[in-house]
Each structure stands twice: as C-alpha cells, then as structure tokens.
Amino acid sequence: MDLSTLEPMALTCPRCGSQVSQRLYGPCADCVTLLHAKFPGIAREIETEDYVPKMNVTPNAVATKD
C-alpha cells in the first residue's frame, strides 16, 4: 500500500479535539510538535547483567548429548 496516494480527510485530533485535515488518524501536527518537545527521544546505552540460570535448572539431556 502506497501511503503517499491517500487523500487527506477531515478528522478530529484525539489529543486536543481540533478538526484537522490529514491522511492518517493520529495527533495533529501541532500536538506532535508539542509531544516531541515534552518527551524527547534520547537514546542511551543500558548495561544488563548476563543471564545465569538458577541452580535448580538442569540442562536438557538432548542438548548436552555428544
């Protein structure tokens, strides 16, 4: 499906309730700008510990078969 061929239609913004004309349902351009300013998507690196199975977990017999 080519989204560029969709015609704009009259919709109500689900966030502010204003009438807008856009191709897809969702927040209007003004709300999107405000949301980007309020919640900036800042990427960050998160370090996690390696998975260590509990002592009561035993390996599968088929997986350890030589």
pLDDT in tens, 19-48: 999 999 999 999 999 999 999 988 889 899
Domain count, the chain: 1
**Is residue 59 domain-resident?**
no
**Is residue 49 domain-resident?**
no
pTM of the model: 0.57
Report the pLDDT value the prediction gives residue 2, as an integer from 0 to 100.
78
4: pLDDT confidence band, cut at 50, 70 and 90? confident
**Is residue 32 domain-resident?**
yes
**What distance in Å separates the CA atoms of residue 28 and residue 58, rounded to the nearest whole number?**
54
CA distances from 31 to 4, 24, 41, 45, 55 (A): 22, 14, 16, 29, 51
**Is residue 7 domain-resident?**
yes
**Is residue 54 domain-resident?**
no
**Is residue 64 domain-resident?**
no
Domain encompassing residue 27: 3-37
**Is residue 9 domain-resident?**
yes
